[in-house]
Structure 1
Amino acid sequence: MTTSHKQLQLVLFDANDIPGLMDLSNSVGWDYDESEIKTVMMSGKIFGHKNAEGKIVSSAAIMTYDTNLAWSLCMQITED
């Protein structure tokens, strides 16, 4: 028996991914706009997954506040 299993790779998003991150945000009823996402990218890193078609299906942002003290996890979004 063979099983077809699509694996998603974790990727680091950049400015080119902002429209897709806005689409993901809208898909769950959130309203992140371009300037908010740019601010998050300047303050930390946004990771997530893209499906086989290149559509962003998840995101999570990590922002550090000091070199070794604290961090914040935000923008956790997954599409159904």
Structure 2
Amino acid sequence: MFELILNVLLWLGLAYTYAFHVLEAPVPAKVLRNPYALKPDVWPNVIIILLLICVAINIARIIMKNRGKAEFSLGAFFASIGGF
């Protein structure tokens, strides 16, 4: 359960970074005038989108692997916080 929560927090952090930092990054005027230049926001967009996809796949795999187990519940997670 702890791994699932960390993955969800990672996904939310990446989504926040993509929405508020990568999309609003300023592009220099020199780059905007050149139609053949690779814009500086292309690689961060690609990397964050790939990370979002990979983390979403990992979340789905964790849920499918642990579905139906008694220790995979929110109650069991909160009970194990003290030991952590």
TM over 0.5: no
Higher relative contact order (CA 8 A, sep 6+): 2
Question: TM-score under structure 2 normalisation?
Answer: 0.24
Q: Which has the higher strand share?
A: 1
- What TM-score do you get using the length of structure 1 for normalisation? 0.25
Write 1 or 2 for the structure with the bigger share of helix: 2
Larger Rg: 2
